[in-house]
Structure 1
Amino acid sequence: MNYLVAVLNDRIQAEEAYSALERDGLPMESVAILGRGYKSADEYGLIDPNEQARKQSKLMAFWLVPFGFVAGFCFNLITKLDTFPWAGELGNQAIGGILGGLAGGMGSLFIGGGVGLIVGGGDALPYRNRLNAGKYLVVVKGSDALTRKATTILRQYDPENLQGYFYSSDV
């Protein structure tokens, strides 16, 4: 599936581009306008990188906290560290497990959330920022031939940005 995204400065320009695509016979179910008065980024399905980072962090915590607990417990069991003499042998192992679980939680927060925030959004964040700035996106979704035809039409409207994407379900 191919996507073509054009960033246009105002609503009139976006509507003119949409009408030109319609006049040239592009199927209108493949064309969408995003912006004030039209579809929002969420309605169209642009990924919010902050939401993705939270999901990634929670998923990592689901695995890392219990793994960290078991690793901390086993480390203390193997090394027989007596860090807290008042806690006894089992207490030291439990404290090691708790500290390991906390380390796993911190890892999921910093790595899962941080990496997700940096790379999770891809190009969605710049497009969201342009929508927030009052610009409009014209998105064409379809075959390679359809997006090539749309590219020649949309170039006439001197878009701020014109970007094509190819997504394969085989990857």
Structure 2
Amino acid sequence: MNYLVAVLANKQQAEEAYSILKKDGISPEKVTILGDGYQSADEFGLINPNQQGLKRAKKLAYWLIPFGFATGYLFNLLTNIEIFSFVNPIINHIIGGILGAVSGLLGAIVVGGGVGLTVGSGDALTYRNRLNAGRYIIITKGTDSLISQATRLLRQFEPEYIQGYTEPTNA
């Protein structure tokens, strides 16, 4: 399936563009408007970058926390650093391991969450920001010829942004 995404400045332009597409024979089921008074990004299914970041941070924490504990324990064991001088050396090693686990958790949050926010969302974050700024998005889905026809029709509205996408096939 192919998609065409066009960002328009206001509701009036979006409604006019929808009407033009409909008049030119493009089925209303093939055209979606996102924006205030229409579908939201979540209703349409745009990826939420915060959810992606949280998911990646959890995946990374799954192995970074135990690895951090092990390396913190071993580091303390090899260096014999006394974290607290009044406790048994084994307890100091365990505290070193706990500090290593906390470092692993912090790394998972910073790296996993940061990468999920910036990379994992693709263009979805850009589109969400434009919707939050009061813009409207028209999404047309269909064959190559339908997308070409919609592109030609939507260009007359001078969209802020227009981009075509092809959904990957599962082979």
TM above 0.5: yes
CA displacement at 1:82 relative to structure 2 = 4.3
Q: Which residue of 2 aligns with 1:66?
A: 66
Matched, 1:39 2:34: no
CA displacement at 1:35 relative to structure 2 = 0.7
Unaligned 5+ segments in structure 1 are none
Q: Which residue of 2 aligns with 1:87?
A: 87
Instruction: Return the TM-score normalized by structure 1.
Output: 0.86
**1:12-161 superposed matches below 5 A:** 12-77=12-77, 79=78, 81-84=80-83, 85-161=85-161
Distance 1:26 1:81 in 2: 74
Distance 2:97 2:169 in 1: 41
Q: What is the aligned-residue RMSD (CA, Å)?
A: 2.1
Asked if the contact 2:82/2:89 (under 8 Å) is kept, the reply is no
Asked if the contact 2:67/2:101 (under 8 Å) is kept, the reply is yes
Instruction: Return the TM-score normalized by structure 2.
Output: 0.86
Unaligned 5+ segments in structure 2 are none
Kindly tell me the number of residue pairs found equivalent between the two proteins.
170
Distance 1:67 1:145 in 2: 53
CA displacement at 1:59 relative to structure 2 = 2.5
Distance 1:35 1:71 in 2: 50
Distance 1:3 1:87 in 2: 64
